[in-house]
Amino acid sequence: MGTVISLTLPLQAGGHRPVEDEHRAATAVVEQLFAGLDEIFSLYRPESEASRLARGEITLRDASAVMRRLYAEAANWRLETEGAFNPERPDGVLDLSGIVKGYAIQEAGTSLLALGLDDWCLNAGGDVLVNGSPLPGTGSSWQAGIVDPGDRRTLIAGHPIGGPSSRRALATSGSAERGDHIWAARSGGALPAVEFTQVSVAAADIVTADVLATAIVAGGLTMLDRAADGWDIDVLAVRSGGELLATPGFRH
């Protein structure tokens, strides 16, 4: 998926390291899941199912169950965000990259729980899902840092996730990391000026966090207000001029 994926398994109570077999099993399940989804959804792979759809060689009717399921979920998000989140590029090509990474992280987290791992942090390109605590048995939260889009060496904020918090996920979208890859919502056929260079959303699940971060970048202040009113989330948005806008959860 063109990004770095990291998995952290903390020391267990008493300072014991997770056993080597747990490390290997956890790493393998994450690698296999991300690689498998990349083979299906990557538009950079000519042989992928997504590329075949883009070339018109197959239709959604012929596509795999996971492709149809994610398209249906993405289409529902388009309705929920009144078009700010869009699974189609301006040229009409279906592109589910705005939802597939969150889905991959979600599924990897489910697999880690199935392996009996209660405490972990999964980070895919800055989108983070956690479970349990970095200090097992203490109930403490993980601390997620958010970088300055103008200086990747600097943090502009932090947010607790996991532990006693209802937020288990944090996702960041914007142009600082990958350039302008998010399509702004059109108004009257014209593209509006970009209001936010970066948006971070903390939520109970990673798909909601990832989709809404993307939607707010695309939809600007109107979508930020709609998201803050309609979903149980925390938002930190960086305006194009550097000004920060934050909901109360980011201001405590």
Q: pLDDT by residue for the chain (252 residues), tens digit each?
A: 678 999 999 976 555 566 677 888 999 999 999 999 999 999 999 999 999 999 999 999 999 999 999 999 999 999 999 999 999 998 889 999 999 999 999 999 999 999 999 999 999 999 999 999 999 989 999 999 999 999 988 999 999 999 898 999 999 998 655 444 454 554 444 445 679 999 999 999 999 999 999 999 999 999 999 999 999 999 999 999 999 999 998 865
Angle at the Cα of 4 from the Cα atoms of 160 and 29, rounded to 5 degrees? 85
Q: To the nearest 10°, report the CA torsion of 187, 214, 235, 125.
A: -160
C-alpha–C-alpha distance, residues 226 and 67, integer Å: 28
Cβ 162 vs Cβ 168: under 8 Å: yes
Residue 250 confidence (pLDDT): 85
Residue 14 confidence (pLDDT): 58
Question: How many CB atoms sit inside 10 A of residue 48's CB?
Answer: 16
Residue 168 confidence (pLDDT): 97
Cβ 18 vs Cβ 12: under 8 Å: yes
Give a three-class secondary structure readout of 183-195. CCCCECCECCCCC
Length of the chain equals 252
Question: How many CB atoms sit inside 10 A of residue 163's CB?
Answer: 18
Residue 13 confidence (pLDDT): 59
pTM of the model: 0.89
Domains and CATH numbers, the chain: 5-246 (3.10.520.10)
Residue 184 confidence (pLDDT): 52
Residue 16 confidence (pLDDT): 59
Amino acid at 187: S
C-alpha–C-alpha distance, residues 199 and 174, integer Å: 6
Residue 152 confidence (pLDDT): 85
Number of H helices, E strands in the chain: 5, 9
Three-class DSSP category at 35: helix
Cβ 206 vs Cβ 127: under 8 Å: yes
Amino acid at 243: E
Angle at the Cα of 64 from the Cα atoms of 44 and 122, rounded to 5 degrees? 60
